[in-house]
Amino acid sequence: MRTTFAGKTAVITAAANGIGRASALALAARGADVIATDIDGDGVAALADEQAGITAQRLDVMDSNAIDELVQNNPRIDILVNCAGWVHDGSILDCDEEAWDRSFALNAKAMYRITKAVLPGMLETGTGAIVNIASIVSSEKGAPRRFAYGASKAAIIGMTKSIAADFVQDGIRCNAICPGTVQSPSLEDRLRATGDFDKALAAFQQRQPMGRLGTPEEIAEMVCYLASDMAGFTTGQAFAVDGGWSI
Ligand code: NAD
């Protein structure tokens, strides 16, 4: 069976960079009409210029009104890829309430908000695939200095399973992907923020048993699979794409 998304509309959050960007390119290359959204409007506009089949839309996933407007303007959404996320660096002792709240607001609540807005349209058509980008650092695995991040990414796995269970008989599938460490602009920022980029990069590479970081494209392949009819019997699962980190 060949994966084709012809006639399908996909909305992706945080599509200007990293995994979201690679997912937008991969879905569009396979024929989807992709609405690439990001708080960085210029970033998604550049992406839309790069490949046919991609429309750019500035969207802050923390903005309920903007989400409602997006859904009103695009009543038929077949695929939703929830990619927006934020890393707080620190243990519980470093995590003040602001960092905790921001982690859950961006990583979990925003996903709840946009999924709740998109689902009624999917239920009307009787079909829909939701792909949530969680992390292997979640309920799957602990990692140093990822307290609020891991907790909020675990919430995504719980949400994924709940949504899958509630709508399993309505043609809606909802799955999560748990990436290991993947090259991206924000990862580079985090490496730079340690004060010793090379040392931090080497440490991140070493914790991946394959000895290298993942690429956004490797995660995008799993996005495409889970969004496609080839995954028609698959829902409510969290898939590790982590270079063996969780073995
Ligand atoms: P990234 O962090 O480099 O880019 C994130 C994008 O999110 C940026 O384009 C940014 O403009 C956008 N963004 C930030 N706040 C936003 C908001 N409020 N509304 C809309 N967009 C917003 O990309 P990445 O590292 O590929 O991360 C993407 C997702 O993958 C995140 O959820 C992240 O937690 C998850 N993830 C990443 C890794 C990794 O190692 N890179 C590992 C596991 C999980």
Q: Determine the atom of ligand 1 nearest the C-alpha atom of 214.
A: 40
- Any atom of ligand 1 within 6 Å of the Cβ of 60: yes
| Integer Cα distance of 88 and 135 in angstroms | 13
- Report yes or no on whether pTM surpasses 0.85: yes
Decide the pairing of beta strands 172-179 and 238-241.
parallel
% of the chain exceeding 70 in pLDDT: 99
Query: Does residue 149 carry a catalytic annotation?
Result: yes
H helix or E strand, kind and range, residue 34: strand 33-38
| Integer Cα distance of 52 and 55 in angstroms | 8
Q: What is the pLDDT of residue 3?
A: 74
**Taking all residues of the chain, what is their mean pLDDT, rounded to a whole number?**
97
| Integer Cα distance of 197 and 194 in angstroms | 7
List 5, 147, 149, 245, catalytic entry: 149
Among protein residues, the one with the nearest Cα to ligand 1's atom 12 is 14
Q: Determine the atom of ligand 1 nearest the C-alpha atom of 149.
A: 34
Q: How far is the CA of 17 from the centre of ligand 1 (A)?
A: 7
Q: What is the residue whose two structure tokens read 């709840």? A: 112
Give the residue ranges of the chain where pLDDT is below 70: 1-2
Model confidence pLDDT, tens digit, residues 201-223: 999 999 899 999 999 999 999 99
Task: Lay out the sheet containing 128-133: strands in order across.
Answer: 54-58, 33-38, 9-12, 79-82, 128-133, 172-179, 238-241
Q: How far is the CA of 130 from the centre of ligand 1 (A)?
A: 17
- Any atom of ligand 1 within 6 Å of the Cβ of 182: yes
